[in-house]
Amino acid sequence: MHFLGIDWVGVNADNGRKLLLSLAFIAIVVLASRLLRGLVSLLLRRVDHATVQTRFWTRQAISLAAAIILILGLLSIWFSDPTRLATAAGLMSAGLAFALQQPVTAIASYFVILRGNTFTVGDRISMGGVRGDVMRLGFIQTTIMEMGEPPAVQGADPAVWVKSRQFTGRIVTVSNAKIFAEPVYNYTRDFPFIWEEMAIPITYQADRVRVEAIMLEAAKQQSVDPDSLAAEYKEGLQARFGVEPIDLVPRVFYRITDNWLELTVRFIVHTHGIRGAKDAMSRTIIAELDKVGIGIASATYDIVGFPPIEIRSAPSNPAP
């Protein structure tokens, strides 16, 4: 093609027609995809969990279908000859495998996440060193609303200043490829509850039976009632993890130390709202201990004896 005094190699009427057709096809697919996604958002405007899940997966299906239609349509426009298509596909695959290893792995991980039901939007997970709730699941990256961690795991990298499982305000993107390199912890997929513990140290002279009763009562007020758990949760818990139903009931465990007797209450709560539950329990336990005059033990030293003490006065000097 001769244009502006230049002979353009590889540009001809046929290629120009294919280019225009490709641009029009891309515009139609993108426009249709956006219209369908907007329609889904309009129809599913409620903010409850089920509606959010349905809206997300419907939009994901639309995006995935649009991507497949776009790829197949462009291939059919540019490669009408199967031989040329096979050759181009081979060269493209070799180039992608060499130059785009991470993105290709991330895209493959996306389908593994979908197929394996690893997690979905709204799940609370720990992935790639990031802990929080999944906000968005894309073809390459997962977007997580970060949350803090208790002091026992404050040595996380990067550091988290919120000392409980509450949002920090940071939105973090993690490559989907992390599922092949690191474990993914899901707090909500099969069983949307978590076991928690609270330890109270008391002296060996304190009324441990009374303290145990106070801790159990506080735990029962804030923990999930085992009788209220849905039958499918109980059966699923038993089948998948082999957990006996008795473990769902709050229980206090003793631990003997050099300084005090440590009472630890173990209870089950919803995955979200753990800090509020433990705060309410702490307030109740402290108030009840104050009523019965029992204090919380701390590191102290007892002096069990003194050596004999003698007081001697210096002899007075005799008069000259």
Residue 318 identity (one-letter amino acid): P
Residues 176 and 202 in one domain: no
Average pLDDT over residues 148-162: 63
Residues 74 and 151 in one domain: no
**Is a pLDDT exceeding 70 seen at residue 281?**
yes
132 and 46 in a single domain? The answer is no
Residues 25 and 78 grouped into a single domain: yes
| 202 found inside a domain | yes
- On whether both 203 and 273 belong to a single domain, the answer is yes
5 part of a folded domain: no
CA–CA–CA angle 84, 79, 34 (5° rounding): 145
Task: Tell me the angle at which helices 82-99 and 101-116 cross, rounded to the nearest 10 degrees.
Answer: 100
Strand, helix or coil at 320?
A: coil
Report which of residues 300 and 193 the model is more confident about: 193
Beta bridge partners of 170: none
Whether residue 133 contacts residue 123, with contact meaning beta carbons closer than 8 Å, is answered with: yes
What per-residue confidence (pLDDT) applies to 7? Answer: 47
User: What is the residue range of 247's domain?
Assistant: 193-292
The answer on 198 and 182 residing in a single domain is: no
Q: What is the pLDDT of residues 157-188, one digit of tens each?
A: 556 667 777 888 889 999 998 998 888 988 88
Q: How far is CA 73 from CA 19, 21, 87, 251, 285, in A?
A: 12, 10, 18, 62, 67
CA 253 to chain centre: 29
Q: What is the pLDDT of residue 3?
A: 47
Residues 182 and 206 in one domain: no
Distance CA 262, CA 45 (A): 50
Residue 209 pLDDT: 93
3-state secondary structure of 160: coil
CA–CA distance, 106 with 108 (Å, rounded to integer)? 5
- Which band of pLDDT confidence, cut at 50, 70 and 90, is reported for residue 72? confident
Same domain (yes/no): 216, 161: no
Residue 308, pLDDT > 50, answer: yes
Contact between 184 and 128 under an 8 Å Cβ cutoff? The reply is no
Tokens 């000859």 sit on residue = 81
Q: Please, what sign has the CA dihedral across residues 163, 166, 169, 171?
A: positive
Judge if 182 and 197 occupy the same domain.
no
CATH number at residue 278: 3.30.70.100
Whether the per-residue pLDDT at 316 is higher than 90: the answer is no
Residue 3 lies in a domain: no
Decide if 245 is inside a domain.
Answer: yes
pLDDT, one tens digit per residue, over 220-279 is 999 887 777 656 566 666 666 666 655 778 999 999 988 899 999 999 888 888 888 999
Query: Structure tokens of 117?
Result: 């039901």
Q: Which of 96, 111, 139 is the last residue of a domain?
A: 96
The tokens describing 14, both together, are 């046929």
Question: What is residue 303's predicted lDDT score, i.e. its pLDDT?
Answer: 62
Q: How many domains does the chain have?
A: 3
Asked if 20 and 88 sit in the same domain, the reply is yes
In a domain, 212, yes or no: yes
Write out the two tokens for 235: 């059966």
Residue 216, pLDDT > 80, answer yes
More confident residue, 16 or 105: 105
Residues 6 or more apart whose Cβ sits within 8 Å of residue 166: 147, 148, 275
| CB 222 within 8 Å of CB 277 | yes
Least confident among 46-55, 58-67, 206-215 = 46-55
Q: Does residue 105 form part of some domain? A: no
Q: What is the spatial distance between Cα 134 and Cα 148, in angstroms, rounded to a whole number?
A: 15
Residue 24 has pLDDT above 90, yes or no: no
Is 207 a member of any domain?
yes
Q: What is the pLDDT of residues 181-213, one digit of tens each?
A: 888 988 887 778 888 899 999 999 999 999 999
The pLDDT > 70 percentage for the chain reads 72
Calpha distance 218→222 (Å, rounded): 7
Same domain, 22 and 92: yes
- Alpha carbon distance 124, 272 (integer Å): 9
Of the residues 168, 186, 204, which one is the last residue of a structural domain? 186
From residue 36, give the alpha-carbon distance in Å to each of 33, 46, 71, 291: 5, 17, 19, 63
- Average pLDDT of the chain is 79
104 in a domain, yes or no? no
Quote the Cα angle for 144-148-151, to 5°. Answer: 150
- Same domain? For 144 and 200 the reply is no
Q: Which of 186, 202, 232 is the last residue of a domain?
A: 186
